[in-house]
Amino acid sequence: MPVPLRRFSQNWLANDELAVALVRSMEPQSGDHFLEIGGGEGRMTRALLQHDVRVTTIEVDTRCCETLEALARNSAGKLSVIHGDVLEYDPPASSGPELRFVGNLPYAIASPIMRWTVKHHKIVSDAYYMVPIDIAKRILAPAGSSERALLSVLVGWFFDGKMIRRLGPGAFRPEPKIKSAFVRLQPHEPPACTARQQHCQTVVQGSFAHRRKTLLNSLRQSGWQRDEIERAFATIGIDMGARAEALRVIQFARLAEELPELIQ
């Protein structure tokens, strides 16, 4: 049995009972297809395979892949193993949201995996992720919260978030120095917006690029002219002294429509 490695930011679930409980909270249905990010030693994988579902697991660690492939050989075709980095993986194109994403995310790359999930939002039926508690709070932070950040808006553009369960360090091995949370992302219709999605993301990133500054000054330092920003604020009804964390997703959508695209 492999041991967790720091270079892969591995903190595995400490026991099978916890994995079973987490999977039960996802309410697997017959015929579901789960895309598991980071199969690790296979606790969550085995818990999923107790149900009438298909599982595709992505794992970068060769040692773990050997364990998972042995499990796949005895799964009656229910488990497929992909050896690779999830951030470089492009799921197959789909006509709709058909995949249920799940994973005990490597904490060092939890935020990039969240952005990767946003990138592939069209194929996500729902997502259940184990993440550091501070990332969970960021994802769930409403407009006006001091914890609201870039990730809050990028995820909130396409998903509603909910905290399913909090877990202490003792739920993992080795024990991390931080608390964790199991969160659910449920897709919703994004705000209607005539701006290109790339421009929308550029506006959101520019808004949060200078957290100590007002939204107006952050956008100025990100490349827009003051008069452009002031006209956009006046049209939308944003206070000139507002900060990025005060805005709702729909307001960022309107802001993207009003601000011109930056010339790269």
pLDDT tens, 196-217? 999 999 999 999 999 889 999 9
Task: Answer yes or no: is pLDDT of 95 > 80.
Answer: no
Which residue would you say has higher pLDDT here, 107 or 80?
Answer: 80
What is the percentage of the chain residues whose pLDDT exceeds 90?
84
Give me the pLDDT at residue 132, please: 95
Domain spanning 197-258 has what CATH number?
Answer: 1.10.8.100
Give the CA distances from residue 46 to residues 18, 22, 58, 64, 110, in Å, rounded to whole numbers and listed in that order.
Answer: 12, 12, 14, 13, 22
Q: How high does pLDDT run on average in the chain? A: 93
Under 8 Å between Cβ of 75 and 47: no
pTM: 0.94
Residue 71: both structure tokens together: 């499990």
Residue 241: both structure tokens together: 């002294």
- Specify the domain boundaries for CATH 3.40.50.150 within the chain: 6-187
CA distance 72 to 140: 35
- Specify the domain boundaries for CATH 1.10.8.100 within the chain: 197-258
48-69 tens-digit pLDDT:
999 999 999 999 889 889 999 9
- The mean pLDDT value for 105-114 works out to 92
* CATH class given for the domain over 6-187: alpha beta
